[in-house]
Amino acid sequence: MNRPFANPLKQLLREGKKTLGAWAQLGSPLTAEILARAGFDWLMIDMEHGPGDIMTLISQCQAISGTECVPLVRAPWNDFVVAKRILDAGAYGILFPYVNTAAEAEAAVRACKYPPQGIRGVAGSPRAVRFGQDISHYLSRANEELLVLIAVETLEAIANLPEILGVEGLDGVFIGPMDLATSMGYFANPGHPEVQSAIARAEERVLRAGKVLATTCTSWEQAENLYQRGYQMLMVLADGVGLAKLAADRVTAFRKSFPQR
């Protein structure tokens, strides 16, 4: 029996809970399934820097559909046509990259909402509505249940956060440390004190506005610190990077133990 569309991740966030996520960047349904079955609350399927397209997105969503893991997507750009296709494929939310102004944030929100709140096209045939078998249940709840996040990656965006955070329908902000550092002149160096100061300003503004705070991290120690600072969404692992690190560690261990083979 079909039930009204519900997003369990958004419910956790409404309750103020911490959630655990991972990057799915390889465009692979197999790694998506592995991560989902490991118990992550959500996956961020990366269509900005990953190689995937709509068909690989669908295969990744299908691979995790038997679990409680929620599929989110980092869109390649803040484009309403791309957003429409991502949502019709079955994503439960979108992270829009490189949003710098309230107008851009509003455009992102409107791309995810059916009229009158937005401009998303209504169709009764895509995967999101179970190919016509779940139209009313999905359409009646999609505007409320889909998660809309924007990425803050420049000082301009941080300066404009008071206006951005006032956009109705925006659920949260992802702070992109690498792009922010690079935009500030500290190429790929998010640890620089000036970058950390800018991040702290952004964190304070997002939390004060009562929005969800999200980012990525490279260690569990860093994750614990970020959770304590108020983050609710952290990407603590990436399929490609994680596999590459594990492979390199094993090769290093082998060569150390058997230098002469």
What residues are annotated to the active site?
Answer: 49
Within the chain, strands assigned E span 19-24, 42-46, 70-74, 93-96, 147-152, 172-175, 212-216, 233-238
Residue 215 · residue 174 · CB < 8 Å: yes
Within 195-232, strands assigned E span 212-216
Cα 37 versus chain centre, distance: 18
* Best CA proximity match to 37, nearest among 7, 69, 8, 61: 69
Residue 105 · residue 161 · CB < 8 Å: no
DSSP letters for 67-107: SSPEEEEE-SSS-HHHHHHHHHTT-SEEEES---SHHHHHH
Q: What span, in angstroms and rounded, lies between the C-alpha atoms of 92 and 7?
A: 7
Q: What span, in angstroms and rounded, lies between the C-alpha atoms of 137 and 124?
A: 11
Dihedral sign for Cα 134, 92, 74, 160, please.
positive
| Residue 259 CB-density burial (10 A; 0-12 exposed, 13-18 middle, 19+ buried) | exposed
Locate 86 and state its tokens.
Answer: 């991502």
